[in-house]
Amino acid sequence: MSNTSRKLSSDEVSALMEGLQSGEITSNSGVNNDIEVTDFTFGSDNLELLGDYYALRLINERFARLVRSIFLPMIRIQPKINPFPPEVKTYDEYSAGLNSFMSLTTSRIDELRGSMLLVLEPSFISVLTNCYYGGKLANFPSTKAEFTATEERIIEIVSDGIGQCLQNAWKDLMPITIRHQAREVNPQFATLVESTDSVIICSFVVQLPNIDSASFDVIYPLQTLKPIASLLRSRVQSDVIDDDTSWRDRLEKSVLNVPLPISAILSEPSISLSKLVKLKKGDVMNLPPIDGVDFFVDDKLLFKSEIGETNGQAAVSLKTRI
């Protein structure tokens, strides 16, 4: 026997409402009270949408490896950069923890139709600027109230490099294009989202020898990443081997420490066997005029050189590479 359904007539609806009001019909009639119901507000910042941020954590790990190439030419050593797990706060909560003077660069992510924020510490900018222009790696107190022209240039270089590294880190999940829009120094004027909106904070710590660790943040509004929530929950794997340069650095260091034999040949005169057998200690052998000295590395001729003396020892001066 098949079940049929139909709409209630207006008289039946009126009778139902009168029954509910009079108490003749209880509101739980025909309702299964064993079913659990979860309140949900449409449009709310439900963090469960992004799951455990697996793909975002993978992107951050890849980005941390790539971004070392931005700082290496400035500080002339390989920094160690590690990502923290993504954290969610309201933008007001996050900005409340910032100093009143920071480097804040707002950028547009075209494909997501949203924005992101790059936050750099002034003391880190000072370290990078000092090293970039030939200074030593050292701590700098963050007591300034504005950036110099050279520091502004470093911020531009770093922001462009970080944007490019982020694009490369994201490309296995989806291609994105990052365009810088504005730069501020006061968090109150950095217009990313409303103060009550949620943001995802991706923090990275930069460890450098003999000085304090530095950090920088990449901030995504939750609303920006919501359209790709299913992608961010996915166990995405890269088909491309990450450009991890640490093994190259170790290999280069090992190769540069390989000992190689060197020799400088002054002359190669000929001698008869009869004279050779008569040679004894103290004999003097006349050499033809020396026209340059051949300099060998691992039995391979690399340079033409000249013989001389330095600090009382015989030496050769390399003149021409072969």
pLDDT given at position 282: 86
84 or 233: which carries more pLDDT confidence?
Answer: 84
Residues of the chain with CATH 3.40.1550.10: 47-253
pLDDT at 219 over 90: yes
pLDDT at 240 over 50: no
Tell how far CA 129 is from the center of its chain. 18
pLDDT given at position 40: 44
Q: What is the pLDDT of residues 279-289, one digit of tens each?
A: 888 888 777 77
pTM for the predicted model, two decimal places = 0.60
pLDDT given at position 206: 93
- Cα separations in angstroms, 80 against 34, 207, 210, 215, 222: 54, 5, 13, 11, 28
Which SS3 state, helix, strand or coil, does residue 83 take? strand
Q: What is the pLDDT of residues 104-142, one digit of tens each?
A: 999 999 999 999 999 999 999 999 999 888 888 888 776
Q: What is the pLDDT of residues 242-265, one digit of tens each?
A: 445 556 677 777 777 888 888 888
Burial string for 36-67 (b: 16+ CB within 10 Å, else e) reads eeeeeeeeebeeeebeebebbbbbbebbbbbb
Q: Are 216 and 206 in contact (CB under 8 A)?
A: yes
Residues of the chain with CATH 2.30.330.10: 259-269+289-322
Q: What type of residue is 312?
A: G
Tell how far CA 71 is from the center of its chain. 9
pLDDT at 55 over 60: yes
pLDDT given at position 1: 47
Gap between the Cα atoms of 151 and 157, Å rounded: 10
Q: What is the pLDDT of residues 198-208, one digit of tens each?
A: 999 999 999 98
2 or 226: which carries more pLDDT confidence?
Answer: 226
Burial string for 151-174 (b: 16+ CB within 10 Å, else e) reads beebbeebbebbbebbbbbbebbe
pLDDT given at position 44: 43
pLDDT at 52 over 70: no
pLDDT given at position 36: 60
pLDDT given at position 27: 52
CATH code: domain 47-253 is 3.40.1550.10
What is the third-level CATH fold of 259-269+289-322?
Answer: Surface presentation of antigens (SPOA) (2.30.330)
Q: What is the pLDDT of residues 140-190, one digit of tens each?
A: 776 778 899 999 999 999 999 999 999 999 998 899 999 999 999 998 888
> How does residue 268 score in pLDDT terms, banded at 50, 70 and 90?
confident
Across the chain, mean pLDDT equals: 81
pLDDT given at position 22: 64
Gap between the Cα atoms of 31 and 269, Å rounded: 112
- Cα separations in angstroms, 275 against 70, 155, 272, 284, 285: 67, 76, 5, 12, 11
Tell me the percentage of the chain whose pLDDT exceeds 70. 78
> How does residue 5 score in pLDDT terms, banded at 50, 70 and 90?
very low
Summarize the confidence of residues 11-16 as an average pLDDT. 64
